[in-house]
Amino acid sequence: MKMDRRALLKLQRAKAVWRSFQPESTLSVGRIRTDAFTFTSKQPLGAGVQVGCDVTGFTVGDASCSLAVRMALYDERVGTLRSTAVGADETALAFLSFDVLAASSMMNGEEMPDYPVMHSKGSAAEFAPLVDDYSRRMDRIWKFMGGWSVPGLERLAIWAIRNREQGGTMWTGLGLVCAAFVYGERELAHAVLDECRSEWERRVRLEPRELVFQIHDKVRGDIERLLEAMRARAVH
């Protein structure tokens, strides 16, 4: 398939602008679709701990485009516990992600605004204010948590878990449970685990079909292994 050179140029310009605001980050190659482009930005905070941003530009109507950013948190300690539960290596995966616009607005006590828009043929100079706004929002989020650091990430993770409905937090398997447990919030970990169990029991009632039964059995087994691992860690 022949790649649209204009779309490739737009992706390259977007990455260059992003890097100018986030110089310490490393960027993925990125992907191009008919109506959108996306790339990932990652920044290490400590051994086995890093923060990532999934940056997506997408078309809005015929003449406009917009930008959405989701922040993702990675921690090998959380991934190790989750890997024990699911029986596969998930140490390199994010354990949660959240919408930057939703989270920053919530922290500021504001309603979430619409995603920022610019002309679809706009230049890098027009794209820069959108990235600047997201960068400022991310800086405020981390300042609220005490700075770009491993302890800051732990506090941010707990905040995102506690505000998972309003803050645009994406559920990533049992990642939220593992994070809460690893970061010392065991009561919260069990509350989220109960929520996960209840949600799957509800789904089985609403969708009584073979595939749902199979997934539910897998999740139930994962939960039992996770509880066993949590009990073993609690002893030490």
Convert the pLDDT of each residue in 65-97 to its tens digit. Answer: 888 999 999 999 999 999 999 889 999 999 999
Per DSSP, the three-state class of 215 is helix
Q: Please report where in the chains the tokens 């992907």 appear, as a residue.
A: 31
Question: Is 63 a domain residue?
Answer: yes
- Identity of the amino acid at 78: V
List the one residue out of 168, 162, 189 whose CA is nearest residue 178.
189
Statement: residue 34 has pLDDT above 70: yes
The stretch 136-144 carries a mean pLDDT of: 95
Statement: residue 2 has pLDDT above 60: no
Percent of the chain whose pLDDT exceeds 70: 91
Helices 210-235 & 186-206 angle (0-180, nearest 10) = 170
Question: Is 200 a domain residue?
Answer: no
Per DSSP, the three-state class of 90 is coil
Question: Is 202 a domain residue?
Answer: no
Looking at per-residue pLDDT, the higher value among 132 and 33 belongs to 132
How many Å apart are CA 198 and CA 201, to the nearest integer?
A: 5
Question: Is 140 a domain residue?
Answer: yes
What do you get for the CA distance between the two ends of the chain, in Å? 56
Question: Is 189 a domain residue?
Answer: no
Number of domains into which the chain is organized: 1
Convert the pLDDT of each residue in 9-31 to its tens digit. Answer: 888 888 999 999 999 999 998 89
CB–CB of 118/127 below 8 Å?
yes
Question: Is 192 a domain residue?
Answer: no
Please report the pLDDT score of residue 8 as a whole number: 80
Statement: residue 171 has pLDDT above 70: no
How many Å apart are CA 228 and CA 236, to the nearest integer?
A: 13
Looking at per-residue pLDDT, the higher value among 161 and 167 belongs to 161
53-62, 143-152, 221-230: which has the minimum mean pLDDT?
53-62
Q: The whole model's pTM is what?
A: 0.88
Q: Which domain holds residue 40?
A: 5-183
The stretch 163-192 carries a mean pLDDT of: 85
The token pair that represents 151 in the structure block? 């302890």
Question: Is 94 a domain residue?
Answer: yes
| Greatest pairwise CA separation for the chain in angstroms | 60
Statement: residue 180 has pLDDT above 60: yes
Question: Is 158 a domain residue?
Answer: yes
Looking at per-residue pLDDT, the higher value among 73 and 213 belongs to 73
